[in-house]
Amino acid sequence: MTFDWNAHRFSGGVLALDLANTVIFRETRERSQDRLADPAEMPRFATAAANFRRGEWGNVQFSSPTSSGEITVLIDVREAINELFRTAVRGGGLRPKPLSVFLRLGSELFGDEPSGQNLALPRPCEQRRELPLASAAFLSGVRLFEPARLERIKICPNCHWLYFDESRNRSRRWCDMRVCGNRAKAQRHYNRNSKQAGNDHV
């Protein structure tokens, strides 16, 4: 079943976190859903990512995996990104084990890249280029190592997505106020009304 890879799906703010967020409700096992469980969604995600991440990458095309081995690598990179930055948010910094897993995957990825490939860290550029989705997500994650950027990564309390808080005073509470913020507001309203109704019957 396909769905719309719309702007909300890219609330992470950077490609690395967007890829990690292709699993929703990670911290509630019974609600968790993997949007890339169907491999047919991978090229659709890659196409949408190139559009929504032009501010990070400029004129780029992300190639999606085609073989079962490449699909496994992409999922491994996704999970390594998630573990590395979710642990950082929860524990206050990059930790040795998830960092070593992440870096090992990067080493394996780039060992197979053509020697002339431009692997500059993400930045907008005029010249169009193509990168494998997994490689681009890894490079996007590397850029988040900068302390000033790392401390802006947060976890949405509603959907459990990782997101990069670009607000001036780092006050953003939700990955997307229009979706998760409004859902939380509706839930608070429901809870207040339910409590009031209960008190009325006391």
Coarse DSSP helix, strand, coil percentages of the chain, rounded to the nearest 5 percent = 50, 10, 40
pLDDT digits (tens, 9 = 90+) for 139-167: 999 999 999 999 999 999 989 999 999 99
pLDDT digits (tens, 9 = 90+) for 16-46: 999 999 999 998 889 999 999 999 999 999 9
What is the CATH code of the structural domain delimited by 7-200?
A: 1.10.3300
- Paired strand residues for 61: 130
| Of 166, 136, 169, residue with least CA distance to 153 | 166
Contact 78, 102 (CB under 8 A): no
The amino acid occupying position 178 is R
* pTM (2 d.p.): 0.87
